[in-house]
Amino acid sequence: MNILKSRTGTTHNSISLRVMLGCCLLFFSFHSKAQSGSDSSVVVAKSHVQNGVYGPALSLLNSFLVKQPKNVDALFWKGVALYKQKNYVASEDVFREIFKIHPGYAPAYAEMGNALLEQKKYKVAADFFSTALSLGDTSSLILNCRGLCYYYTDRLELAIKDFERVIKLDPANAFAYNNRGSCRYNNQDIAAASAVDLRLAEKDFNQAIALKPDFQLALRNRGVIRYYMDSLRTSFDDLFTAMLLNEKDEKAHFFLGRVLHKQGKYEQALKYFDKAIALVNYKAEMYVDRGNCKIELLDYKGARADFNQAILMSNDNGLAYFYLARAYAAEDKKTECMEALKSARKAGLFKDGKYYVFIYKDKYFGRYYKDKVFSDMIYEFKFGKK
């Protein structure tokens, strides 16, 4: 199951915009192109905004704009101050006023993009960043911002191109390497990713960590990649370090659980799955993986509870039904097992033929290999009624 492919709330989801952008106040890279030569009160207000003192800045700017209502420099800093106070509607009104007065004023387009990016309005934000770039502001931060907009709207090839341009402009930008690596491992069904693609993503994370050794997100991402490469020891090391750097990173806990489960260390794995779900209790895949761990610990009732929870939480619940069937098979409850498999089929799971192979190789499903009723049902799944 590809948990990284889901980027709703995820697998981009749990990624902090602040972390991926690699900055706290994005406008610092854009304001340098704002008009100069303004009244001293605008200069003071600008300094206030840069230092996060927004109330006094707005008072100065509003007083100044009474006298010079079309001063673009003053309007620009007012717009920035407003959106930093999360007064997005008023901020956007100010930026649109600038566009009327000075349609070629690139910093305003960039900051409008930032305000929209902060609100997770990624598609329209990308358009404003593109306009800023077309007007000649080719800073690496604008490219990084637009790349993130593409990333969060699944336009991953475009995102990769932007991050590559950032790297070309700023080879020491650890965040751009991390972001490009994130695109690479989200740009496909990672469960079936080629070794080449995984190695390319790992290389990006290696570079990000070399530039910034305490880069928590890159460490976690590299740990995930190494899990899929079956480099379980190094995967554990990366994920454990990432978890220590940010104990609220549910993915670090979740993949630690996955690594330990793969190593057969089920009791330890269960603790990490528990922690991941305690942090984020709305991701079906976490319940599915914890349920499978509980099966190995012979806690069939607990496993069924997790699978049923996953079924309730996701419309794409074929896999949860499949493992629910496996839990019933482990208890030798054939009727319930068959009903769960029928539900998995109805959900479309058996369009992937690998699950037929899994049924006959699995130690629990395999107990029904010679059972005629069970075998007839599987035959019907594959070929229709005899």
What DSSP assignment string belongs to 311-379? HHH-S--HHHHHHHHHHHHHTT-HHHHHHHHHHHHHTTGGGSTHHHHHHHHSTTGGGGTT-HHHHHHHH
Distance CA 139, CA 166 (A): 8
Spell out the per-residue pLDDT of the chain, length 386, in tens: 332 333 333 344 434 555 555 543 444 444 444 444 457 889 999 999 999 999 999 999 999 999 999 999 999 999 999 999 999 999 999 999 999 999 999 999 999 999 999 999 999 999 999 999 999 877 899 999 999 999 999 999 999 999 999 999 999 999 999 999 999 888 755 455 678 889 999 999 999 999 999 999 999 999 999 999 999 999 999 999 999 999 999 999 999 999 999 999 999 999 999 999 999 999 999 999 999 999 999 999 999 999 999 999 999 999 999 999 999 999 999 999 999 999 999 999 999 999 999 998 999 999 998 999 999 999 999 998 76
Burial label for 37, CB within 10 Å (0-12, 13-18, 19+), is exposed
Tell me which residue of 1, 5, 14 sits closest to 246, measured CA to CA: 14
Distance between CA atoms of residues 14 and 250, nearest Å: 8
What pTM was computed for the model? 0.84
